[in-house]
Structure 1
Amino acid sequence: MITAAASDHGFTGLTGWAADLLLSVGDIGIGLLVLVEVVVPPIPSEAILPFAGYLTQSGSLSLVGLIVYSTIGAWLGGLVYYGVGRALGMERAVRLVAATRLITRDDLDRGVRWFERHGRPSVFFGRMIPGVRSVISIPAGAARMNLVTFSVLTMLGSGLWNGMLIGVGAALGSEHERLEKYLGHVDLVVYAALAAAVGVLVWRRVREARSARSTAQPSVSTSPEGPS
């Protein structure tokens, strides 16, 4: 049950937006945020989940509900990339996701190597590793891992990780200023990462446009001078 207005939380920035969503929608809101975080990695669960746990101290959110919905959100997000990998195969899926600029090619290759090295356990442990948790589903899908096995490992790994982060936030109790300072630093990191991602995207577009113009420009041939 929602017991506090969204404007009463006192947070700003990314965490203020998250607070507005959570206090307006309730426990299910954390599932939506985690789903987006899995598909669009720059939104960090390390910021959202402890903050959600902190809000349980005011009675606005349920600790159990947050863990359940965040785990479901992580599973649904994982299914998106699992489906892409299963439908397209490894190389085509990696190329497609890299082209969206949502995940870098380096992170995608790291996830593929992680899966090739560790196999099925990587789906469980990868859920606890930033930069791997989103992409590990692609090689799992491309390898046609059994969907039930994938789902169980994803829910176990995500549930453990999410529960730990939510528990940390709940344990802070009334430490509002300490949490606000921590989340303020995380906000800055997220904003910097988003700005860098936009900058890289613009730079690549400009480079591709210049390359296309250079290729399309006709070459000028010079004929040898005749005798005077």
Structure 2
Amino acid sequence: MTIFLQQGLTTASDGSALGGVAEWAVNVMETIGAPGAGLAIALENLFPPLPSEVILPLAGFTASRGNFTLFEAIFWTTLGSVVGAYALYALGAALGRRRMRAIVARVPLVDLEDVDRVEAWFARYGYRAVFFGRMIPLFRSLISIPAGIERMPQGKFLLLTAAGSLIWNVIFVLAGFYLGESWHLVERYADTFQKIVIAAVVLGAAYFIISRILKRRRAPDAR
């Protein structure tokens, strides 16, 4: 098993951060199996610079080698996504905006400008931001913070987080499962998928706003 995984890593590893993250994720999955994939994704939520676009396809690749099933890979990575997101939600709710920003400012590779953009996105799109934000790198982690600060109902937060995470995870885990040793190619197309999601959010928001405006304009005519 280890030999197969190392062969898959050799193609992606060139001494870069990608190879390092991939090797770490393999070690975790080899040590504790499918729950290791969930643990890696939970940590990815808590530490955004860890790329889910690497960990998820690698979980699929590992499942394709028989270390655990495809269902287990999807289940545990989705559970890890929800657990990691809820941890940030709870921190946001407990600490509030000012103290939470002070903590985030000390996290390596995360700028407060990123937090500002996510907060603005949440303020503008609300619940939709939580759902679609799970499919956008970096946003997928940080979106939980304003949701917690604003005390978004926990049930809705968990449901939207689970639904958005499931879609994102299934796409990337399946890609890694069927690509096999070429799993690392998935990362090249992650940016395109991200842009598609953002476009969908913008179009959905535009449709919502336009439909509301038209509805209000028609209201006086109906009286």
TM-score (norm 2): 0.73
Q: Deviations over 1:12-47 (max 9, x none)?
A: 532122222212211100010001101111110101
Aligned to 2:143: 136
- The within-5 A match list for 1:71-82 is 71-82=78-89
- The within-5 A match list for 1:1-228 is 4=1, 6-10=2-6, 11=9, 13-14=19-20, 15-101=22-108, 103-173=110-180, 176=181, 178-179=182-183, 182=185
Aligned to 1:192: none
Change (3 A) 1:53 1:31: same
Divergent runs of 4+, >4 A? none
In the aligned structure 1, how far is the partner of 2:65 from the partner of 2:113?
41
Q: Deviations over 1:51-84 (max 9, x none)?
A: 1111222211211111111111111111121112
Contact 1:28 1:69 in 2 (8 A): yes
Aligned to 2:194: none
In the aligned structure 1, how far is the partner of 2:3 from the partner of 2:31?
10
In the aligned structure 2, how far is the partner of 1:24 from the partner of 1:140?
34
Which of 1 and 2 has greater Rg? 1
Higher helix share: 2
In the aligned structure 2, how far is the partner of 1:75 from the partner of 1:35?
8
Contact 1:40 1:102 in 2 (8 A): no
Q: Deviations over 1:168-217 (max 9, x none)?
A: 111214xx2x335x4899xxxxxxxxxxxxxxxxxxxxxxxxxxxxxxxx
In the aligned structure 1, how far is the partner of 2:53 from the partner of 2:112?
23
In the aligned structure 2, how far is the partner of 1:57 from the partner of 1:8?
11
Q: Which runs of 5+ in 1 are unaligned?
A: 186-228
In the aligned structure 2, how far is the partner of 1:184 from the partner of 1:69?
21
Give the alignment's Cα RMSD to 1 decimal. 2.1
1:116 Cα deviation after fit: 0.4
Percent identity (aligned): 39
In the aligned structure 1, how far is the partner of 2:147 from the partner of 2:187?
35
Contact 1:7 1:20 in 2 (8 A): no
| Residues matched between the structures, number | 178
Change (3 A) 1:120 1:179: closer
In the aligned structure 2, how far is the partner of 1:38 from the partner of 1:107?
15
Q: Which runs of 5+ in 2 are unaligned?
A: 11-18, 189-223
